[in-house]
Structure 1
Amino acid sequence: MSSLGDSSALSVSLPSPTSLDRDAAEQIARTLKAMADPTRIQLLSLILDSADGRALVGQLADELRLSQPTVSHHVRVMAEEGLLERSQKGRLVWYSVSPDRVDEVSELLNPVSSAPPSPLVLERIAGDLALQFRGIFSGETVDRYVRESYELLAREARIIRYLPSLTGRFAAERLRALATADGLLPHDAPEVLFVCVQNAGRSQLAAAILRSLAGDRVRVRTAGSAPAEAVNPRVVAALDEIGVPLAGEFPKPLTDEVVRAADYVITMGCGDACPVYDGRRYLDWDLDDPSGLALEGVRAVRDEVNRLVRQLLEQMDLPPGR
């Protein structure tokens, strides 16, 4: 990909981000105003949760023990701002969330919950992974890794949004690393582990760029000695500018088996927090932490990471594929 070429050229060729124009800002403000009422939030929730995604004003009024004129006022305001659609069948008027706003409204109405998943959720994750790793690990081993992975993400990374699905991904990644380290899966490509403190900036930049350049010729993992709750949004933006996806990555704690599986362990600020095993190549990249940097500073870190990743591929005798 030509945009990942010389880092100095890259930094001057990128366009400046476009500021939010006045019309877009006013639209956002109107939407926020239309939703900024507890009753409207309740109404939207009831409509979304209804059997067919629609409801009558009378039904909503009965459910919330409000007068029909009060409910009519609120749904009219939300309809005027495009949050709700109105459809009439005979004398009945139904309200539903506008199709192009469902994701937006659903995200708002499903706040982050700190409640742990039910045991049945973890059992299902373990059961699915036991099928995936059948003949490699016992069901007991898989179950232990699932529960431990959940606890690590909840306690060390403090992740609460989408915790069950991230638990499944984290446990699967750890099990694959363990199988590789123990010779239970073929080791047919170099394994690279990027480690930084928060696993939210430098390591994510490096992993995304390496995957983009090397494809499946290299297996890439990341971890953090003190993981953050989420990837730095400026890191995501800086990657997007050069057409490199983050690929759904998330901060995760450093665990022993991912170090054992790695051929290259590349630290970016965690110092001696990484276990040391014979036969691995340990590198330390001296990079500024993007945390707290403005986007321009994150771009500079990204460009230096790009240079170092290309250098790494040359050392592996795997020149960039694009």
Structure 2
Amino acid sequence: MDAAPLDREAAEHIARNLRAIADPTRIQILRLILDTPGGRRPVTELATELGLSQPTVSHHLKTMADEGVLDREQVGRTVWYSVAPQRVSEVYDAVRTRDAADSVSPEALARITQDLATRFRGTFSPETVRDYVAESAALLSERSHITHRLPSLTAQFAGDRLRALAEAEGLETGEVPDILFVCVQNAGRSQLASAILRSLAGDRVRVLTAGSEPAGSINPLIVAALDEVGIPVGGEYPKPLTDEVVRAADYVITMGCGDACPIYPGRKYLDWDLPDPATMTLDGVREVRDEIDRRVRELLADVNAG
């Protein structure tokens, strides 16, 4: 069946949103705000950094505030502008650029190597993993000419190559536990947890995700926060919570979805009390990512001990 045509009111709303940021100066302003710790800037700072007059910057800020792209808050004599929480994801997706084209930072390479060494512990030495990671980054950059999401694609490529090498050498995995992460939208916390666990455990676990009220797509800030530490989201997408995935799971980790998850005997249930990154700045998402990373490592240690 063909999709229903977009109605005029919805189309006009989309067009207004696009016009509100379809200006090079506004793109620069939004990027500066997003990249600032705390996610807010006053007119004076923006004007100085961009080399523009304050009235010019104020005009652009007012236009975006009128369209709901920015929030305006006066503290004393200073007016601060921040991206409206409900618009953070779409604004970030619109203004992001390829900041580190054709390269992966040494810090990202070290993180990728450490994670893959954890995944392939007992199969390959850390030195072998390090060599494969470095070579994979070079191959993607020099042969495939990939510049977008290079850290996370390097991790995915190196992990796939190491897994193929293990299979070629006759190494096999036995039965693996199923681990289910559940949050509200299946677009933030559960995707962070599943991606981090996959990067650490590989084929030693089977990872599933679901949402009690799934969103239409993964929050792009989640993808960005994972990419900068070399972790791919892969082919993940938000999906509804269904009974059979809970029944199949050995571990069920819930994050803010209340009583939506059914309880079955014989499964280990954990509830991680974590803030929802849906309306956070990138700095906030990073904090949630790092806390989930800590908890996932503890979970993996428990799974390996079981």
TM-score (norm 1): 0.50
- Identify which of 17, 21, 32 aligns with 1:35: 21
Cα deviation 1:95-151 (Å, max 9, x = unaligned)? 100111111111222223533112332232112211221221012211222123223
Cα deviation 1:271-293 (Å, max 9, x = unaligned)? xxxxxxxxxxxxxxxxxxxxxxx
- Identify which of 58, 61, 69 aligns with 2:44: 58
Counterpart in the other structure of 2:33: 47
Distance in structure 1 (CA, Å) of the matches to 2:16 and 2:80? 23
Cα deviation 1:248-271 (Å, max 9, x = unaligned)? 339xxxxxxxxxxxxxxxxxxxxx
Counterpart in the other structure of 2:103: 116
C-alpha displacement of 1:42: 1.5
| Aligned ranges 1:246-257 → 2 under 5 Å | 248-249=234-235
Counterpart in the other structure of 2:136: 149
Counterpart in the other structure of 2:160: 173
Cα deviation 1:177-207 (Å, max 9, x = unaligned)? 3223323332669xxxxxxxxxxxxxxxxxx
For structure 1, which runs of at least 5 residues remain unmatched after alignment? Answer: 1-14, 190-215, 220-246, 251-322
What amino acid is aligned across from residue 85 of structure 1 in structure 2? D
| Structure 1 SS opposite 2:3 | coil
Distance in structure 2 (CA, Å) of the matches to 1:41 and 1:150? 30
More divergent stretch after superposition (71-80 vs 130-139):
130-139
Question: What is the identity percentage for the equivalent residue pairs of Structure 1 and Structure 2?
Answer: 55
Counterpart in the other structure of 2:148: 161
| Aligned ranges 1:23-102 → 2 under 5 Å | 23-102=9-88
What amino acid is aligned across from residue 170 of structure 2 in structure 1? G
- 1:104 aligns to 2:90 (yes or no): yes
Distance in structure 2 (CA, Å) of the matches to 1:141 and 1:40? 47
Give the structure with higher Rg (CA). Answer: 1
Distance in structure 1 (CA, Å) of the matches to 2:11 and 2:41? 31
Distance in structure 2 (CA, Å) of the matches to 1:22 and 1:112? 34
Distance in structure 2 (CA, Å) of the matches to 1:175 and 1:116? 21
What amino acid is aligned across from residue 182 of structure 1 in structure 2? E
Counterpart in the other structure of 1:186: 173
C-alpha displacement of 1:153: 3.1
In angstroms, what is the RMSD of aligned CA positions?
A: 2.6
C-alpha displacement of 1:64: 2.1
Change (3 A) 1:90 1:119: closer
For structure 2, which runs of at least 5 residues remain unmatched after alignment? Answer: 177-202, 207-232, 237-306
Distance in structure 1 (CA, Å) of the matches to 2:174 and 2:137? 27
| Aligned ranges 1:181-260 → 2 under 5 Å | 181-186=168-173, 248-249=234-235
Distance in structure 2 (CA, Å) of the matches to 1:63 and 1:108? 21
TM-score (norm 2): 0.53
- Identify which of 6, 19, 22 aligns with 2:5: 19
| Structure 1 SS opposite 2:63 | helix
More divergent stretch after superposition (163-172 vs 151-160):
151-160
| Structure 1 SS opposite 2:6 | coil
Distance in structure 2 (CA, Å) of the matches to 1:176 and 1:115? 25
What amino acid is aligned across from residue 50 of structure 1 in structure 2? T
